[in-house]
Amino acid sequence: MLPPEETDEPAGSSYGRYEGNQVHAGQKTEFSYKQSPGADSMAKVYPLPPDRKNLFRFSLVVLAMAMILILAGICLLIVGGTGGWVSFISVSFIVFLIAVVAIEKIQ
């Protein structure tokens, strides 16, 4: 057992002097990312907006297919011949490239 410490204070004035565990007194317990508990209770919580990326991608694929069918009718039935086939292949390739680039941009 340790001998009692001698202080200059009178014996009766030591009330309220206990300051907790002195081993952890030098450590910093407050972190900068923590906020006061009252600040969180007043904050509003909003739900995340629905993720509609897959719907946009699917509708873009359906639109590209519809465009290819419409252009097939125009190029093959109205123009016809070798020129119709060449124009249909080139226009289909262009629609494909536009669809691929647009699907990649939806993120």
User: How far apart are alpha carbons 49 and 25 in whole angstroms?
Assistant: 46
User: How far apart are alpha carbons 10 and 1 in whole angstroms?
Assistant: 23
Q: What is the mean pLDDT of residues 72-84?
A: 90
**Domain map (residue ranges) of the chain:** 72-107
pLDDT (tens digit per residue) in 27-73:
555 555 555 555 556 778 888 888 888 899 999 999 999 999 999 99
